[in-house]
Amino acid sequence: MKSMGPILQDNAKPGERDHAPHIANCSTCTTRHLSICAALGHEELLTFDHVVQHRSFPAKTVLFEQGAKADFVFSVSEGTIRLFRLLPDGRRQIIGFAIKGDFLGVAMDEVHEYTAEAVDYIRVCRIPRAGFAVMLDEKPHLMKKLHQLAGREIHNSQDQIVLLGRKNAEERVAAFLLSFRERLARIATKSVTIPLPMSRQDIADYLGLTIETVSRTISKLAREKLIVVVPDGIRILDVDHLMALADG
């Protein structure tokens, strides 16, 4: 397993803010309505401003590591983050990819259950967990929203369990493309061209396959005219056929 990139220092101030000078506050945040902040009223948003820390990081930055004390929760404003766990011998399983609007820390764990690492350039809102916990106690609608997110996370996990437990390589890749497309549709206009910021190795570690199998499967789907490989992404040619494949 290769090195994991720079660990984020809590006191690593230099340059941090420089990356995102255009975000002044939550009220003007374009990700607001997609994120957990959608549960906040105008006034609450103002108080939230004092708690939230806008940060941005280059690719490969480790936001937090599995096993570390969870001092912050995060809301993703931009970019892609891979969430993974490592086995002692280096085998990696990617639990999920977090994109714009996603919330990291739904479970409000004391300790991080997985490592989070920037796939590309990312912007996040970092929120002290303790303060957030207080807000949750005070604002039932925020708690409700968080629980709603937890429910969605449970669904996604169960989908992934079915995929990993019972689907073959072709079905897994098809399902991945469609589900990632679906998630992108929430934050942009739905398109048949799916940008894939993560590497083939990331996709493999997400789908429980090897990089070679992912590559071969994508080639096969392309040979069968279901998709076309484009720079940094994949275009879907036959959505219906791909869906039928993905569902098993």
> In the complex with its own copies, which residue's Cβ is closer, 12 or 133?
133
**Residue 201 site contact among its own copies, DNA, none (CB < 5 to 8 Å, cut-off depends on kind):** DNA
Sequence-distant (≥ 6) Cβ neighbours of residue 154 within 8 angstroms: none
**Residue 137 site contact among its own copies, DNA, none (CB < 5 to 8 Å, cut-off depends on kind):** its own copies
Question: At its nearest, how many Å lie between DNA and the CB of residue 203?
Answer: 8
Report whether 232 contacts 197 (CB < 8 A): yes
Instruction: Give dist(CA 216, CA 230) in Å, integer.
Output: 16
**Residue 39 site contact among its own copies, DNA, none (CB < 5 to 8 Å, cut-off depends on kind):** none
> In the complex with DNA, which residue's Cβ is closer, 20 or 164?
164
Question: At its nearest, how many Å lie between DNA and the CB of residue 58?
Answer: 11
Report whether 45 contacts 112 (CB < 8 A): no
Rule CB under 7 A: which residues touch DNA?
2, 168-170, 199-201, 208-216, 218-219, 229
Rule CB under 8 A: which residues touch its own copies?
85, 87-89, 91-93, 95, 106-109, 113-114, 137, 140, 143-144, 146-147, 150-151, 153-155, 157-158, 160-162, 164-167, 205-208, 247-248
**Residue 113 site contact among its own copies, DNA, none (CB < 5 to 8 Å, cut-off depends on kind):** its own copies
Sequence-distant (≥ 6) Cβ neighbours of residue 103 within 8 angstroms: 35, 36, 73, 74, 75, 76, 146, 149
> In the complex with its own copies, which residue's Cβ is closer, 76 or 146?
146
Per the structure block, which two tokens stand in for 32? 């607001």
Q: How far is CA 231 from CA 101, 228, 234, in A?
A: 25, 10, 8
**Residue 210 site contact among DNA, its own copies, none (CB < 5 to 8 Å, cut-off depends on kind):** DNA
> In the complex with its own copies, which residue's Cβ is closer, 23 or 245?
245
| φ, ψ of residue 48 in degrees (nearest 5) | -60, -35
Question: At its nearest, how many Å lie between its own copies and the CB of residue 72?
Answer: 17
Sequence-distant (≥ 6) Cβ neighbours of residue 69 within 8 angstroms: 110, 111, 112
> In the complex with DNA, which residue's Cβ is closer, 153 or 215?
215
Question: At its nearest, how many Å lie between DNA and the CB of residue 80?
Answer: 13
Q: How far is CA 75 from CA 55, 72, 92, 130, 227, in A?
A: 10, 10, 24, 15, 32
> In the complex with DNA, which residue's Cβ is closer, 127 or 214?
214
